[in-house]
Each structure stands twice: as structure tokens, then as C-alpha cells.
Structure 1
């Protein structure tokens, strides 16, 4: 599929107008709703930091090795920074050496998957099952028992330390 200059400019203009008038936009370019948490653009911008908005709502990516959660070793729960949905636990976190927090499995039923054909390749995007926010991508080079590597943006997550019971 190809687009001419007029189609590209018309599409960009429509997206700009939608953002200016607080229209509801897709959770990110890859996820399809409806989602339980459904806010308009202005509400998301109010709720999230600029970096969280760029990642969760526009399918951006943080620079490798910049998230403090990459080094997080404590026992706990990782929640979507957009809606507090419980998406990963420390029990499935592992060191992948990629520069992003990595997990071999999400909390059951907490995430969705979509095809992402950006950057001249096809990948599997991972998004929050509650708000549709972009979390990262999943690859087939992870450890057992799943063989999956959920490569997740730390800025898309909030971590809650859960001490071991006495």
C-alpha cells in the first residue's frame, strides 16, 4: 500500500484536529478497544507524565538502560502506569541484557497483543488489557518455561514492593 503526499497531509491534519478537540483516539497505534479505562487525549495528558504519554498512548520507547526498574530486584508487582492494572510480577522478571525490564510471562489475562509493523519490521506489541496502553514487545528468545521475552518500557510501569511474609 502506498500513499501520495495529499493523503499523508490530510491524514496528519485529521489526527492533529482530533487531538486538539480532545477526541478519543486509539489507545496506541496498534491496540484496538474498547477498553475498560477509556479517556480522551486531554485526560490522558493530565494523568500521565510526558514520557508516559509518549510511550503508553503513542507507542514510543524509552532509551535502553535508562529505567530504574531495569535494575529492580525486590519482590513485588508491576502495574500499568496508566491505569494501575497488575501486568507483571517479580517472579517472572529476568535479566535479558537488553536494557529494558524483561519478563517471561505476564499476569494471566492482563495484557493483549497486536501486530506492529513499524520500523520496517513485524513485531508483536504488548499492551495493557485494561487501558490499551503500549507496554513494549514480546520476542521468542526468552528463558523457560515460556521461551518468551516481554521487553517492557520501565516508564510504562509502576512498581510496588511486596515484602516476603514473615
Structure 2
């Protein structure tokens, strides 16, 4: 969530999820048109005959990190997620001068990143006003938690004193 572009003030929500395709990724020329390999959004994946709702195509960010740590070690995974944070900051800095800064507004962005086999993150897209639709209990928990934290940060009821613990 960005509450200001001047100065740049960003809050990163540390929960999230990773999406997967039903079929193993491939760069083979004869597979390049196979949407089930290259696109992970539910609208595409649920048309795959192998699709089973609620199984495997979406993991919590915590589960994804634990899996990656088991394969690559904590240092490499922590470095990869640090690079994702830097990617987010750099993307916001790149538009900082052209965004109209209104002290009475904020924006929630949704970042889509791909992590390659070397754990290098790649920015896929940035969604302004990402979907807050919750199709599963895990979606609800994630999105409600993010919105609850956002409302707390915005302090619309002026309940915060400035002496709260910051993490």
C-alpha cells in the first residue's frame, strides 16, 4: 500500500500466495501455445481437464517459502524475497515523479512476480486496485487481513497515538 509518493511511503503486506499451473513448465517450441503451462490464473487453469479446485494450484506464500528453503536453503530464498522487495520499491520510484500526490488518498497494488529456477525474481505486472474477491477461506483470510491492516495504518478514526510498537 502506498500512502504517499512524496516522500515515498510504502507498506508491504508480507502474506500472499503463489500460483502454479496444472502442467510442468516448458520452453519447448511445440509447447509455446499451451496456456495451461504458461498462464497460472484460475480462469485459464480451471478449463484444464486435470484441474481440481482447491488442490495444488495456489499455495500460501509461507508454504512456498518453506518449500523453496527445503530445495535451495534459507539464504538463497531470503535473498530472492529481498530482491522482490527491491523490485517493488524500484517500480514505485520509477513512477514517483508522474503520480499525482494527494495527501488524502492511498493506493493498494498487487504485484505479480515470477521466480525462475535460479530463484531470480521477474516482475510480471503491477495491478492497481487488485481483486479483493475471496473464493476460498484462505483468500478471505489473506484479503480481510490485508484490508484490516490497511485500515489500521490509515487510522481513519484517529485512534493511534504514534507510540505504538512498529515491526
Which range, TM-score by smaller chain?
under 0.3
TM-score, normalised relative to structure 2? 0.24
Q: Which has the larger radius of gyration?
A: 2
Higher normalized contact order (CA 8 Å, seq sep 6+, divided by chain length): 1
Write 1 or 2 for the structure with the bigger share of strand.
Answer: 1
TM-score, normalised relative to structure 1? 0.24
Write 1 or 2 for the structure with the bigger share of helix.
Answer: 2
